[in-house]
Structure 1
């Protein structure tokens, strides 16, 4: 079991400072739709930048950024995905003629174990959604402009992996540790890469490696993640999508009265889709062998009308 501890005093943020940051990022992001119909931070991912991202493919090597879906309950996954084989029926496996193997599955999309994408209708703050939409618009019955439908054509662009533990010289960040804007610039310098407009920024905290080597723990109350000031970095660089191998938010958080400040800033203030609990261990090795930390990234969520999120299996193409 991980030790629960409060963030260092220098990493805490007052409610007033958080609100100031929230209002600044919200004002800068606005809620305008670009000429191609993209809203929020996706407006930075223009068709020209998508086309340019194709130049990142040099080896033709593909890497999954998703972890295997969990079907057994654990400390970080009390409601695992339900999966069962429903066919072939008794006797069909050995009978002549055509028969089918069948299966069915269901999951809690926004849990603390499985890789998933958050839509813009996922975060309700101050009684509303991104862009001032009422909270009642969330879910399948509401308008679909903020739902998963907004990315039904997928998200394709230049992915950049910033490996913060690697830059610090450790295998992973311990639960409760925060990735600051300074950590991101330090990782850029160490890796010889720079995050730019329209990029899909992927931040490794080492959550998956720690879980694999030490076992699962109650990640809901103790996990490494981003400090709220890291969202200033994302805003300044005009990042289109943010993803992490953890929840993106640290627990315990840096803001006492806001449990998920990074989700509030990214999704609600900036209109930025988040990907939580990805897996970067294979990608790290591929990037080290290739000698670069950028690649084409393809994100294809399910087409679930009105949904607040989706399981996701992003693919990096080097």
Structure 2
């Protein structure tokens, strides 16, 4: 772990410290739509004002079908009709295909539903874990976001703040660094914003090759979630898993997921890519944009592949 330009590296958390943090961040009241309730119609209308040029930029990585250290069970893409060697030169045919994928892997871009994290026998909002059935989730599935998530997106680029191309696996992003990135980029995260935090995972992977990200990756320190709670953020997305590995929280392997999804009701987006968006933001001279996130209509699923769009 390195020392950030704004202070000392955040410390490990004991089980008692994590429990106290969880209790401070836990969202009160019934489950509902979680933190998505922070996004009002008025805020969506205001977010439309972020569009200046009309340029659209994807924040998703291409779906991968080749095995790798971080993707031992890649998506399976199969052509099922009208392929070379079997196409009739006359008449009508249709090219067809199918795809099967592990939604919550360590390579493909995806969004986590609020039913994704089971902690101490419950889901977000105290919903019983028994709502997870062999046929799917009967509560808090990705269907909560069936109408899409639209709002003001903000990208905070931590490697840019540190003056490095990427954070090394195992390094943490603190809440202090998120504030420093705001100041350096001239942007402020507000209520109902869709916050994206770049650690440079995708750039490192592209330049150095894939590695076992389940064992080593950069991410947020659990205490950084206090920043999100203070600003009443609606969604959190990252180009890694959002959680650092290995975890330095006693007894909890994925503390950011537990705090974000289970305590705060945040939909998390994992393994996005910001290498297209960063230069677009630099060219535009701003780090906020209209953001559109449209999960698939999977009524009982625990998440969905996703292609978030930034409109500048």
- TM-score over 0.5 for the alignment? yes
Matched, 1:118 2:106: no
Matched, 1:59 2:53: yes
The corresponding residue for 1:203 is 197
Q: SS of 1:248's equivalent?
A: coil
8 Å CA contact retained: 2:59, 2:309: yes
Structure 1 Cα separation of the partners of residues 98 and 130 of structure 2: 30
The corresponding residue for 1:160 is 154
8 Å CA contact retained: 1:139, 1:307: no
User: CA-atom RMSD, angstroms?
Assistant: 1.8
Structure 1 Cα separation of the partners of residues 87 and 136 of structure 2: 44
Which of 254, 258, 263 is equivalent to 1:260?
Answer: 254
8 Å CA contact retained: 1:73, 1:79: yes
Q: SS of 1:229's equivalent?
A: helix
Structure 2 Cα separation of the partners of residues 214 and 89 of structure 1: 35
1:126-159, Cα deviation, whole Å (9 max, x unpaired) = 0010011111112574664410110001100000
How far 1:30 sits from its partner (Å)? 1.6
Structure 1 Cα separation of the partners of residues 297 and 45 of structure 2: 24
Which of 218, 222, 231 is equivalent to 2:216?
Answer: 222
Matched, 1:187 2:187: no
Gaps of 5+ in 2: 3-7
How far 1:86 sits from its partner (Å)? 1.0
How far 1:97 sits from its partner (Å)? 1.3
The corresponding residue for 1:20 is 20
Q: SS of 1:281's equivalent?
A: coil
Structure 1 Cα separation of the partners of residues 126 and 203 of structure 2: 39
How far 1:90 sits from its partner (Å)? 7.3
Residues 1:288 and 1:206: Cα distance change in structure 2 (over 3 Å): same
Which of 23, 30, 36 is equivalent to 1:32?
Answer: 30
How far 1:95 sits from its partner (Å)? 2.8
Matched, 1:280 2:280: no
1:68-123, Cα deviation, whole Å (9 max, x unpaired) = 11101000000000011111167652431110001111000000000000000000
How far 1:269 sits from its partner (Å)? 0.4
How far 1:258 sits from its partner (Å)? 0.1
How far 1:39 sits from its partner (Å)? 1.9
Structure 2 Cα separation of the partners of residues 195 and 94 of structure 1: 57
The corresponding residue for 2:225 is 231
Residues 1:90 and 1:143: Cα distance change in structure 2 (over 3 Å): closer
The corresponding residue for 2:5 is none
8 Å CA contact retained: 1:120, 1:146: yes
Structure 1 Cα separation of the partners of residues 139 and 224 of structure 2: 27
Structure 1 Cα separation of the partners of residues 187 and 247 of structure 2: 29
Higher alpha-carbon deviation: 42-51 or 130-139: 130-139
Q: SS of 2:241's equivalent?
A: coil
Gaps of 5+ in 1: none
Q: SS of 2:300's equivalent?
A: coil
User: Aligned pairs, how many?
Assistant: 307
Structure 2 Cα separation of the partners of residues 129 and 63 of structure 1: 33
Residues 1:104 and 1:264: Cα distance change in structure 2 (over 3 Å): same
Structure 2 Cα separation of the partners of residues 161 and 90 of structure 1: 43
Normalised by the length of structure 2, the TM-score is 0.95
